Amino acid sequence: MPRGHALRMGRRCLPGHYYLVTVVTADRSPYFLDFTRGCAAARAFSQPSVCQHATTWAYVVMPDHVHWLLALEGDLSQAVKLYKSYVSLAVGKPIWQRGFHDRLIREEEGVRDTARYIVANPLRAGLVNQIGDHSFWDARWLTPDADDQVVV
C-alpha cells in the first residue's frame, strides 16, 4: 500500500467518533500572527470540502499551530489534508509541517472538556488576558441552535 494512504501506526479512523487534531506550521513559524492568514485558517473549517469529512465542534488558531475538535464523518487524513490545502491556497504558499497529531476522544474525557481545553489555549500561552480577546477560535456550544447532546 502506498505510504500516502497508510494510517500512522496505531491511528484509527472511526467515523462517528470525536478527535482532537493538531496541525503545525513548517518550522513552527508564526504564520497566523498575520490577521489575514489567521482569518484564512479559521474560515477553512466551514469549507464544504472539509465539512464533508468532519463536523467542527471547536477550534483555535494559534500563531504556529491549530487545534481542531471534530466529529469524524469520513476519512480523518482526507479531512486534515483538505483543511491544510485550503489554508495553503488561501495564503498563497505551503505553510504546514507534514502530517498531523490526532487523539481519539474517549467517553470518560468528555468532548466539552476537550473543547474548553482547546479554546483556553491562547490564555495558557499568555497571548491574551481573557479568552474573548483571541480572534481565532470557536466552539459549537456558542451558537443558539447548537445540539447540546453530545454522544461519545
The confidence score (pLDDT) of residue 29 equals: 97
Alpha helix segments (H runs only) across 44-133: 48-51, 76-91, 111-119, 121-124
Average pLDDT over residues 82-98: 96
pTM: 0.85
**How far is Cα 73 from Cα 70, in angstroms, rounded to an integer?**
9
The fraction of the chain above a pLDDT of 70, given in percent, is 84
Sign of CA dihedral 13, 75, 45, 125: positive
Could you give all domains of the chain from N- to C-terminal order, each with its CATH number? 13-128 (3.30.70.1290)
What are the pLDDT digits (tens) for 12-44?
678 889 999 999 999 999 999 999 999 999 999
**How far is Cα 122 from Cα 93, in angstroms, rounded to an integer?**
25
**How far is Cα 114 from Cα 68, in angstroms, rounded to an integer?**
10
The confidence score (pLDDT) of residue 7 equals: 47
C-alpha distances out from residue 39 to 9, 62, 90, Å: 33, 12, 10
Residues 6+ apart with CB under 8 A from 121: 60, 62, 67
CB atoms closer than 10 angstroms to residue 92: 9
